[in-house]
Chain A
Protein backbone atom coordinates (compact mmCIF):
# COMPACT_ATOMS: atom_id res chain seq x y z
CA UNK A 1 0.00 0.00 0.00
CA UNK A 2 2.62 2.53 1.08
CA UNK A 3 5.10 1.10 -1.45
CA UNK A 4 2.50 1.73 -4.15
CA UNK A 5 1.98 5.26 -2.85
CA UNK A 6 5.73 5.85 -3.10
CA UNK A 7 5.68 4.60 -6.69
CA UNK A 8 2.88 6.90 -7.89
CA UNK A 9 4.46 10.02 -6.39
CA UNK A 10 6.29 12.11 -9.01
CA UNK A 11 9.79 13.55 -8.91
CA UNK A 12 13.08 12.56 -7.31
CA UNK A 13 13.17 11.01 -3.83
CA UNK A 14 13.50 14.30 -1.94
CA UNK A 15 10.45 15.74 -3.69
CA UNK A 16 8.50 12.64 -2.69
CA UNK A 17 9.69 12.94 0.91
CA UNK A 18 8.69 16.61 0.90
CA UNK A 19 5.23 15.78 -0.49
CA UNK A 20 4.79 13.08 2.16
CA UNK A 21 5.81 15.46 4.97
CA UNK A 22 3.29 18.07 3.76
CA UNK A 23 0.55 15.46 3.38
CA UNK A 24 1.30 14.03 6.83
CA UNK A 25 1.20 17.49 8.40
CA UNK A 26 -2.11 18.26 6.69
CA UNK A 27 -3.61 14.98 7.87
CA UNK A 28 -2.40 15.63 11.44
CA UNK A 29 -3.96 19.10 11.50
CA UNK A 30 -7.23 17.73 10.12
CA UNK A 31 -7.23 14.99 12.77
CA UNK A 32 -6.65 17.47 15.60
CA UNK A 33 -9.17 20.03 14.38
CA UNK A 34 -12.05 17.83 13.29
CA UNK A 35 -11.60 14.06 13.49
CA UNK A 36 -10.42 13.68 17.09
CA UNK A 37 -13.02 16.05 18.61
CA UNK A 38 -15.71 14.23 16.67
CA UNK A 39 -14.42 10.76 17.60
CA UNK A 40 -14.20 11.78 21.24
CA UNK A 41 -17.96 11.33 21.77
CA UNK A 42 -17.63 7.60 21.17
CA UNK A 43 -15.04 7.16 23.91
CA UNK A 44 -16.62 5.85 27.10
CA UNK A 45 -17.02 8.84 29.45
CA UNK A 46 -14.94 8.71 32.60
CA UNK A 47 -16.69 9.68 35.81
CA UNK A 48 -14.45 11.97 37.85
CA UNK A 49 -16.97 12.91 40.55
CA UNK A 50 -17.62 11.41 43.96
CA UNK A 51 -20.80 9.38 44.25
CA UNK A 52 -22.34 8.35 40.96
CA UNK A 53 -23.39 11.81 39.84
CA UNK A 54 -24.09 11.27 36.19
Chain B
Protein backbone atom coordinates (compact mmCIF):
# COMPACT_ATOMS: atom_id res chain seq x y z
CA UNK B 1 0.00 0.00 0.00
CA UNK B 2 1.12 3.49 -0.71
CA UNK B 3 1.30 5.83 2.23
CA UNK B 4 -2.11 7.42 2.63
CA UNK B 5 -1.00 11.04 2.22
CA UNK B 6 -0.99 12.99 -1.00
CA UNK B 7 2.22 12.57 -2.97
CA UNK B 8 4.89 15.24 -2.50
CA UNK B 9 6.04 14.82 -6.07
CA UNK B 10 4.07 13.24 -8.87
CA UNK B 11 5.81 12.80 -12.20
CA UNK B 12 3.34 11.97 -14.95
CA UNK B 13 4.10 10.97 -18.49
CA UNK B 14 7.42 12.79 -18.47
CA UNK B 15 9.15 12.99 -21.83
CA UNK B 16 12.55 14.57 -22.30
CA UNK B 17 13.91 14.83 -25.81
CA UNK B 18 17.15 16.30 -27.05
CA UNK B 19 17.19 17.81 -30.49
CA UNK B 20 20.66 17.08 -31.82
CA UNK B 21 22.28 17.32 -35.22
CA UNK B 22 21.97 13.54 -35.59
CA UNK B 23 18.27 13.53 -34.79
CA UNK B 24 15.93 13.49 -31.81
CA UNK B 25 17.05 11.61 -28.71
CA UNK B 26 14.25 10.39 -26.46
CA UNK B 27 16.18 10.20 -23.21
CA UNK B 28 13.10 9.95 -20.98
CA UNK B 29 10.10 8.39 -22.62
CA UNK B 30 6.88 8.54 -20.65
CA UNK B 31 7.97 8.16 -17.04
CA UNK B 32 5.45 8.07 -14.16
CA UNK B 33 6.21 7.86 -10.47
CA UNK B 34 5.30 9.42 -7.16
CA UNK B 35 7.29 10.36 -4.11
CA UNK B 36 5.60 10.64 -0.69
CA UNK B 37 6.70 12.96 2.12
CA UNK B 38 9.63 11.57 4.07
CA UNK B 39 10.19 8.46 1.96
CA UNK B 40 13.25 7.45 -0.02
CA UNK B 41 12.54 6.33 -3.53
CA UNK B 42 15.31 4.51 -5.32
CA UNK B 43 15.69 5.12 -9.05
CA UNK B 44 17.93 2.44 -10.51
CA UNK B 45 19.24 1.35 -13.88
CA UNK B 46 22.43 1.15 -15.88
CA UNK B 47 24.30 4.20 -17.12
CA UNK B 48 22.47 5.89 -19.96
CA UNK B 49 18.98 4.69 -19.09
CA UNK B 50 17.66 8.18 -18.31
CA UNK B 51 17.84 8.35 -14.50
CA UNK B 52 19.81 11.57 -14.27
CA UNK B 53 17.93 13.22 -17.11
CA UNK B 54 14.72 12.50 -15.19
CA UNK B 55 16.08 14.32 -12.13
CA UNK B 56 17.43 17.21 -14.20
CA UNK B 57 14.06 17.47 -15.94
CA UNK B 58 12.22 17.76 -12.62
CA UNK B 59 14.18 20.90 -11.72
CA UNK B 60 14.47 22.00 -15.35
CA UNK B 61 18.25 22.15 -15.15
CA UNK B 62 18.69 21.11 -18.77
CA UNK B 63 19.45 23.65 -21.42
CA UNK B 64 16.31 24.09 -23.54
CA UNK B 65 16.92 23.84 -26.46
CA UNK B 66 18.40 21.35 -27.24
CA UNK B 67 16.29 19.70 -24.52
CA UNK B 68 12.49 19.64 -24.63
CA UNK B 69 10.58 18.56 -21.55
CA UNK B 70 6.92 17.50 -21.67
CA UNK B 71 4.47 15.99 -19.25
CA UNK B 72 3.66 16.94 -15.69
CA UNK B 73 5.89 17.35 -12.67
CA UNK B 74 3.57 18.11 -9.76
CA UNK B 75 5.30 19.26 -6.61
CA UNK B 76 2.92 19.80 -3.69
CA UNK B 77 0.12 19.90 -6.20
CA UNK B 78 1.67 22.50 -8.52
CA UNK B 79 2.87 21.54 -11.99
CA UNK B 80 6.47 22.81 -12.19
CA UNK B 81 6.54 22.54 -15.98
CA UNK B 82 3.72 25.10 -16.17
CA UNK B 83 5.44 27.67 -13.96
CA UNK B 84 7.39 30.69 -15.16
CA UNK B 85 11.18 30.85 -14.71
CA UNK B 86 11.02 32.97 -11.58
CA UNK B 87 8.65 30.57 -9.80
CA UNK B 88 10.81 27.58 -10.78
CA UNK B 89 13.85 29.40 -9.41
CA UNK B 90 12.13 29.74 -6.02
CA UNK B 91 11.47 25.99 -5.91
CA UNK B 92 15.08 25.17 -6.76
CA UNK B 93 17.05 24.91 -3.54
CA UNK B 94 14.01 25.96 -1.49
CA UNK B 95 11.46 23.19 -2.03
CA UNK B 96 13.57 20.73 -3.98
CA UNK B 97 17.33 20.63 -3.86
CA UNK B 98 19.86 18.45 -5.56
CA UNK B 99 23.04 16.55 -4.71
CA UNK B 100 25.31 15.82 -7.64
CA UNK B 101 27.49 12.90 -8.53
CA UNK B 102 30.85 14.64 -8.83
CA UNK B 103 31.85 16.43 -5.64
CA UNK B 104 35.14 17.41 -7.27
CA UNK B 105 33.55 19.51 -10.01
CA UNK B 106 30.19 20.46 -8.53
CA UNK B 107 31.58 23.04 -6.14
CA UNK B 108 32.78 26.36 -7.44
CA UNK B 109 36.59 26.41 -7.11
CA UNK B 110 36.88 30.17 -6.62
CA UNK B 111 34.27 30.64 -3.87
CA UNK B 112 34.63 29.77 -0.20
CA UNK B 113 32.64 26.75 0.98
CA UNK B 114 30.75 28.80 3.55
CA UNK B 115 29.70 31.33 0.94
CA UNK B 116 28.50 28.59 -1.40
CA UNK B 117 26.17 27.37 1.33
CA UNK B 118 25.21 30.84 2.52
CA UNK B 119 24.25 32.31 -0.86
CA UNK B 120 21.35 29.88 -1.28
CA UNK B 121 20.15 30.54 2.25
CA UNK B 122 20.13 34.27 1.62
CA UNK B 123 17.94 33.77 -1.43
CA UNK B 124 15.37 31.44 0.15
CA UNK B 125 15.40 32.31 3.85
CA UNK B 126 15.83 36.06 3.48
CA UNK B 127 18.79 36.16 5.86
CA UNK B 128 21.46 38.85 6.11
CA UNK B 129 25.05 38.10 5.13
CA UNK B 130 26.04 37.68 8.74
CA UNK B 131 23.15 35.36 9.64
CA UNK B 132 23.65 33.26 6.52
CA UNK B 133 27.35 32.84 7.23
CA UNK B 134 26.60 31.64 10.73
CA UNK B 135 23.93 29.32 9.30
CA UNK B 136 26.47 27.88 6.86
CA UNK B 137 28.85 27.08 9.72
CA UNK B 138 26.00 25.34 11.56
CA UNK B 139 25.19 23.31 8.46
CA UNK B 140 28.83 22.22 8.15
CA UNK B 141 28.80 21.22 11.82
CA UNK B 142 25.64 19.21 11.17
CA UNK B 143 27.29 17.19 8.39
CA UNK B 144 30.11 16.56 10.86
CA UNK B 145 32.87 18.59 9.38
CA UNK B 146 35.35 19.29 12.16
CA UNK B 147 36.18 22.91 13.01
CA UNK B 148 33.38 24.14 10.72
CA UNK B 149 34.14 27.78 11.48
CA UNK B 150 37.53 27.74 9.80
CA UNK B 151 36.48 25.19 7.19
CA UNK B 152 33.72 27.52 6.01
CA UNK B 153 36.39 30.06 5.10
CA UNK B 154 38.30 27.59 2.96
CA UNK B 155 38.04 26.92 -0.75
CA UNK B 156 36.93 23.54 -2.16
CA UNK B 157 40.46 22.48 -3.13
CA UNK B 158 41.31 22.19 0.56
CA UNK B 159 38.52 19.61 1.02
CA UNK B 160 38.77 15.88 0.35
CA UNK B 161 36.20 14.15 -1.87
CA UNK B 162 34.16 12.91 1.08
CA UNK B 163 34.23 16.32 2.74
CA UNK B 164 33.12 18.00 -0.45
CA UNK B 165 30.16 15.67 -0.70
CA UNK B 166 29.29 16.46 2.91
CA UNK B 167 29.51 20.15 2.06
CA UNK B 168 27.24 19.44 -0.91
CA UNK B 169 24.75 17.71 1.41
CA UNK B 170 24.96 20.67 3.80
CA UNK B 171 24.23 22.93 0.85
CA UNK B 172 21.29 20.81 -0.28
CA UNK B 173 19.79 20.71 3.22
CA UNK B 174 20.51 24.32 4.12
CA UNK B 175 17.06 25.64 3.18
CA UNK B 176 15.21 22.63 4.64
CA UNK B 177 13.78 21.39 1.35
CA UNK B 178 10.94 18.87 1.35
CA UNK B 179 12.63 16.82 -1.37
CA UNK B 180 16.21 16.08 -2.31
CA UNK B 181 17.18 14.66 -5.68
CA UNK B 182 20.39 12.78 -5.01
CA UNK B 183 22.05 11.90 -8.31
CA UNK B 184 24.55 9.12 -7.59
CA UNK B 185 25.67 10.87 -4.40
CA UNK B 186 28.16 8.20 -3.39
CA UNK B 187 29.38 6.90 -6.74
CA UNK B 188 32.52 9.03 -6.87
CA UNK B 189 33.53 8.22 -3.27
CA UNK B 190 35.52 5.30 -1.98
CA UNK B 191 33.66 2.59 -0.10
CA UNK B 192 34.30 3.63 3.50
CA UNK B 193 33.42 7.24 2.74
CA UNK B 194 30.31 6.00 0.88
CA UNK B 195 29.10 4.28 4.01
CA UNK B 196 29.64 7.40 6.10
CA UNK B 197 27.86 9.65 3.62
CA UNK B 198 24.89 7.27 3.37
CA UNK B 199 24.61 7.01 7.12
CA UNK B 200 24.68 10.78 7.36
CA UNK B 201 21.95 11.13 4.73
CA UNK B 202 19.79 8.61 6.58
CA UNK B 203 20.10 10.48 9.85
CA UNK B 204 19.44 13.89 8.38
CA UNK B 205 16.49 12.54 6.47
CA UNK B 206 14.97 11.28 9.70
CA UNK B 207 15.70 14.52 11.48
CA UNK B 208 14.09 16.77 8.89
CA UNK B 209 11.61 14.31 7.36
CA UNK B 210 12.98 15.10 3.91
CA UNK B 211 11.94 12.88 1.03
CA UNK B 212 14.77 11.65 -1.18
CA UNK B 213 14.85 10.44 -4.76
CA UNK B 214 18.00 8.39 -4.74
CA UNK B 215 19.42 7.82 -8.20
CA UNK B 216 21.99 5.08 -8.36
CA UNK B 217 23.13 2.00 -10.19
CA UNK B 218 24.31 0.53 -6.92
CA UNK B 219 21.68 -1.87 -5.58
CA UNK B 220 23.58 -2.13 -2.31
CA UNK B 221 22.88 1.54 -1.69
CA UNK B 222 19.22 0.98 -2.59
CA UNK B 223 18.87 -1.94 -0.18
CA UNK B 224 20.21 0.17 2.61
CA UNK B 225 18.36 3.41 2.02
CA UNK B 226 15.28 3.14 -0.15
CA UNK B 227 11.77 2.08 0.82
CA UNK B 228 10.49 1.80 -2.75
CA UNK B 229 12.34 1.18 -5.99
CA UNK B 230 11.69 2.24 -9.55
CA UNK B 231 13.76 0.43 -12.19
CA UNK B 232 14.42 2.30 -15.42
CA UNK B 233 15.58 0.90 -18.72
CA UNK B 234 16.20 2.87 -21.91
CA UNK B 235 14.07 5.83 -20.87
CA UNK B 236 11.13 3.81 -19.52
CA UNK B 237 10.18 2.46 -16.12
CA UNK B 238 10.15 -1.35 -16.26
CA UNK B 239 9.37 -2.24 -12.69
CA UNK B 240 8.20 -0.57 -9.51
CA UNK B 241 8.03 -2.28 -6.12
CA UNK B 242 8.74 -1.94 -2.40
CA UNK B 243 12.41 -2.55 -1.76
CA UNK B 244 12.00 -5.88 0.08
CA UNK B 245 9.92 -7.37 -2.68
CA UNK B 246 12.24 -6.35 -5.44
CA UNK B 247 15.13 -8.14 -3.77
CA UNK B 248 13.02 -11.15 -2.80
CA UNK B 249 11.04 -11.58 -5.98
CA UNK B 250 12.16 -9.45 -8.96
CA UNK B 251 9.59 -9.80 -11.76
CA UNK B 252 11.20 -8.09 -14.72
CA UNK B 253 14.03 -10.01 -16.41
CA UNK B 254 16.08 -6.79 -16.38
CA UNK B 255 15.68 -6.43 -12.61
CA UNK B 256 16.65 -10.07 -12.23
CA UNK B 257 19.71 -9.40 -14.37
CA UNK B 258 20.71 -6.41 -12.26
CA UNK B 259 20.31 -8.40 -9.04
CA UNK B 260 22.18 -11.35 -10.50
CA UNK B 261 25.15 -9.23 -11.37
CA UNK B 262 25.81 -8.21 -7.76
CA UNK B 263 28.87 -10.09 -6.57
CA UNK B 264 28.22 -12.04 -3.38
CA UNK B 265 31.20 -13.22 -1.39
CA UNK B 266 31.37 -17.02 -1.39
CA UNK B 267 28.65 -17.55 -3.97
CA UNK B 268 30.89 -19.07 -6.59
CA UNK B 269 32.29 -21.49 -4.04
CA UNK B 270 28.79 -22.60 -3.08
CA UNK B 271 27.13 -22.89 -6.43
CA UNK B 272 30.05 -23.14 -8.80
CA UNK B 273 28.53 -20.33 -10.88
CA UNK B 274 30.38 -17.37 -12.26
CA UNK B 275 29.12 -13.85 -11.71
CA UNK B 276 26.19 -13.19 -14.00
CA UNK B 277 26.08 -10.31 -16.43
CA UNK B 278 23.44 -8.86 -18.71
CA UNK B 279 24.84 -9.28 -22.22
CA UNK B 280 25.03 -6.21 -24.43
CA UNK B 281 24.57 -2.56 -23.54
CA UNK B 282 21.66 -0.14 -23.13
CA UNK B 283 20.55 0.76 -26.68
CA UNK B 284 21.11 4.34 -27.81
CA UNK B 285 17.85 6.28 -27.35
CA UNK B 286 18.01 7.09 -31.07
CA UNK B 287 17.84 3.48 -32.13
CA UNK B 288 15.56 1.95 -29.54
CA UNK B 289 14.56 -1.56 -30.64
CA UNK B 290 10.89 -2.15 -31.55
CA UNK B 291 8.63 -3.94 -29.09
CA UNK B 292 10.14 -4.28 -25.65
CA UNK B 293 13.36 -2.25 -25.52
CA UNK B 294 15.02 -4.91 -23.43
CA UNK B 295 14.22 -7.87 -25.70
CA UNK B 296 17.59 -8.04 -27.54
CA UNK B 297 19.33 -8.57 -24.19
CA UNK B 298 16.59 -10.64 -22.55
CA UNK B 299 17.19 -14.37 -22.08
CA UNK B 300 13.47 -15.04 -21.62
CA UNK B 301 12.17 -13.01 -24.56
CA UNK B 302 9.08 -14.30 -26.41
CA UNK B 303 8.35 -13.82 -30.10
CA UNK B 304 5.85 -11.14 -29.13
CA UNK B 305 8.52 -9.10 -27.30
CA UNK B 306 10.29 -8.05 -30.48
CA UNK B 307 7.17 -6.60 -32.11
CA UNK B 308 4.73 -5.34 -29.49
CA UNK B 309 5.64 -2.91 -26.71
CA UNK B 310 4.80 -4.69 -23.44
CA UNK B 311 1.90 -3.45 -21.29
CA UNK B 312 2.29 -2.35 -17.71
CA UNK B 313 0.93 -5.11 -15.49
CA UNK B 314 -0.26 -4.25 -12.00
CA UNK B 315 0.67 -7.19 -9.81
CA UNK B 316 -0.45 -5.87 -6.43
CA UNK B 317 -1.41 -2.49 -5.02
CA UNK B 318 2.14 -1.28 -5.01
CA UNK B 319 3.83 -3.44 -7.63
CA UNK B 320 3.89 -2.93 -11.38
CA UNK B 321 5.97 -4.44 -14.12
CA UNK B 322 6.22 -3.72 -17.83
CA UNK B 323 6.69 -7.19 -19.33
CA UNK B 324 4.90 -9.67 -21.60
CA UNK B 325 5.96 -12.56 -19.37
CA UNK B 326 3.61 -11.32 -16.68
CA UNK B 327 0.76 -10.61 -19.07
CA UNK B 328 0.25 -14.06 -20.55
CA UNK B 329 -0.40 -16.24 -17.54
CA UNK B 330 -3.59 -14.69 -16.18
CA UNK B 331 -6.05 -11.92 -16.66
CA UNK B 332 -4.23 -9.32 -14.55
CA UNK B 333 -5.34 -6.00 -15.80
CA UNK B 334 -2.96 -3.69 -17.57
CA UNK B 335 -2.51 -0.30 -16.02
CA UNK B 336 -0.12 2.60 -15.69
CA UNK B 337 2.68 2.91 -13.25
CA UNK B 338 1.68 4.46 -9.94
Do A and B associate with each other? no
Binding site for B on A (CB under 8 A): none
